[in-house]
């Protein structure tokens, strides 16, 4: 039986519930708009992502081994797989090892040595420097600190070094220096492993060069999806787009010195690398995000496609070869997009995760544990 429109009564909606629903949807729209800006600016454009310019240091794209990079993916795979197998379902967003890592080219074999999974002997502390905008959306993200909780079970530790969300690398390098010097001086061998995520990696490298007094306090340096060589997406972006992150719900960040986007441009990063050799008394490690295309979250597809005009081997923000620190030890190619590696959006905002950040699940706790275990083992060996 059909009921005419004239006789149909609208479903009652309580004013308070309706207002709350409208507010919630508005909040999601604001979040998505600023998240899209944070997806470094994957808007449509026709101009080249790498424009013609003769103002560049001489460069060559060569195999990692010819750039002084030591490939130890085989041993890292042994350690990471052992961690994943041992922790199993206790690790959030668990994946089998073969799905957690991407095999790229000819991966060297493992060593066959046993993997130490007990208490850390050196008690290394991961001191993490995050990427562009993190301080803007951190209150909304409300990260659960599960990495810290996980690491402390095994004698490791972790801390976040706060830097300006929207400032350039030189400014943030000074903040990194101040944070490290404010930490207690180590008794015996240093324990800090600086881990730079995204823009946090070049921020760390600039700190190491500009402030030599911090080096004796650092055990090692690791780049995780680091924008070491910059990102071509930054060539097509302006700082005002990054400033949209200031309107994230709960954000208290400022524009800083307004040089964050400039710091991510390939010309800026490669010129800096050419002019500033890295200190040779530290060990450097590179973890590269190299996702299979189906592992790119839906909201990041546009920036992935845009960056694919240069090279489809990207994580939606950075090309795989621009993530490697010169002269470092290559640990892994990780099967995760740029956000999935370090930003647990889907865990704290499952609706947004299910609709937009669709490939955000990744066993980050196990990955950080594996990095620290590899570094601890490597530091016990003579420097190569």
User: How does pLDDT run across 72-126, given as a tens digit for each residue?
Assistant: 999 999 999 999 999 988 899 999 999 999 999 999 999 999 999 999 999 999 9
Q: Which residues of the chain have pLDDT under 70?
A: 1-46, 383-384
Give yes or no for a contact between 317 and 288, defined as CB atoms under 8 angstroms apart: no
Sign of CA dihedral 261, 265, 270, 275: negative
User: What phi and psi, each to the nearest 5 degrees, are found at residue 125?
Assistant: -120, 125
Q: Residue 102's closest CA among 76, 82, 127?
A: 76
Exposed, middle or buried by CB within 10 Å (0-12, 13-18, 19+), for 272?
buried
Three-class DSSP category at 223: strand
Q: What is the DSSP string of 74-120?
A: HHHHHHHHHHHHHHGGGSTT---HHHHB---SSPPP--------S--
Distance CA 166, CA 171 (A): 10
Please report where in the chains the tokens 């101009």 appear, as a residue: 47
* pLDDT confidence of residue 9: 40
pLDDT of residue 86: 96
The helix-helix angle for 73-87 and 364-379 (nearest 10°) equals 130
Is 261:237 a contact under the CB 8 Å cutoff? yes
Q: Where are the beta strands (DSSP E) in the chain?
A: 70-71, 125-129, 157-160, 192-197, 218-224, 284-289, 329-334
Q: What is residue 382's predicted lDDT score, i.e. its pLDDT? A: 76
pLDDT of residue 144: 85
CATH of 69-112+122-379, picked from 3.40.50.1820, 3.90.1300.10, 3.40.50.2300, 3.40.50.300, is: 3.40.50.1820
Q: What is the structure's pLDDT at 46?
A: 58
**Residue 354 to residues 34, 90, 365, Cα–Cα distance (Å):** 18, 22, 21
Nearest to 169 by CA among 287, 254, 262: 262
What is this structure's pTM? Answer: 0.89
CA gap 134, 226 in Å, rounded: 14
Longest dimension (CA), the chain: 85
Q: Name the residue with tokens 């008394």.
A: 281
User: Residue 27 has what pLDDT?
Assistant: 47
Q: How many CB atoms lie within 10 A of CB 377?
A: 17
CA distances from 150 to 76, 139, 140, 147 (A): 19, 22, 22, 5
Segment holding 26, helix H or strand E:
helix 15-38
Query: Is the Cα torsion angle 331, 337, 343, 345 positive or negative in sign?
Result: negative
């Amino acid at each position: 039986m059909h009921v005419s429109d004239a006789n149909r009564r609208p479903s009652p909606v309580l004013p308070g519930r309706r207002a709350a629903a409208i507010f919630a949807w508005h909040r999601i729209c604001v979040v998505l708009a600023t998240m899209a800006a944070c997806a470094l600016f994957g808007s449509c454009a026709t101009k080249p992502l790498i424009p013609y310019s003769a103002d560049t240091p001489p460069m060559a794209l060569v195999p990692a081994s010819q750039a002084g990079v030591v490939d130890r993916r085989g041993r890292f795979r042994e350690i990471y797989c052992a961690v994943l197998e041992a922790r199993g379902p206790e690790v959030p967003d668990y994946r089998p090892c073969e799905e957690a890592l991407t095999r790229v080219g000819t991966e060297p074999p493992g060593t066959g040595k046993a993997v130490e999974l007990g208490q850390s002997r050196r008690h290394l502390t991961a001191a993490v420097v995050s990427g562009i905008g993190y301080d803007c959306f951190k209150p909304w993200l409300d990260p659960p600190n599960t990495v810290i909780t996980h690491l402390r079970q095994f004698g490791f530790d972790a801390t976040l070094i706060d830097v300006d969300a929207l400032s350039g690398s030189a400014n943030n390098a000074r903040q990194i220096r101040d944070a490290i010097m404010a930490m207690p001086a180590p008794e015996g061998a240093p324990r800090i492993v600086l881990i730079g995520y995204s823009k946090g990696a070049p921020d760390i490298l600039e700190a190491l060069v500009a402030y030599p007094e911090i080096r004796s306090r650092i055990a090692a340096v690791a780049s995780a999806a680091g924008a070491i060589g910059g990102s071509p997406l930054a060539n097509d972006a302006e700082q005002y787009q990054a400033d949209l992150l200031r309107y994230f719900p709960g954000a208290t960040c400022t524009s800083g010195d307004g040089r964050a986007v400039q710091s991510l441009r390939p010309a800026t990063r490669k010129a800096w690398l050419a002019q500033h050799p890295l200190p040779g008394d530290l060990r450097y490690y590179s973890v590269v995000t190299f996702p299979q295309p189906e592992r790119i979250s839906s909201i990041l597809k546009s920036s992935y496609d845009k960056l694919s005009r240069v090279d489809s081997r990207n994580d939606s923000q950075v090309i795989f070869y621009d993530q490697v620190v010169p002269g470092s030890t290559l640990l892994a190619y990780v099967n995760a997009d740029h956000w999935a590696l370090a930003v647990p959006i889907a865990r704290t905002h499952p609706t947004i995760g299910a609709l937009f950040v669709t490939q955000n699940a990744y066993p980050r706790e196990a990955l950080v544990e594996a990095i620290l275990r590899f570094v601890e083992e490597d530091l016990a060996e003579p420097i190569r």
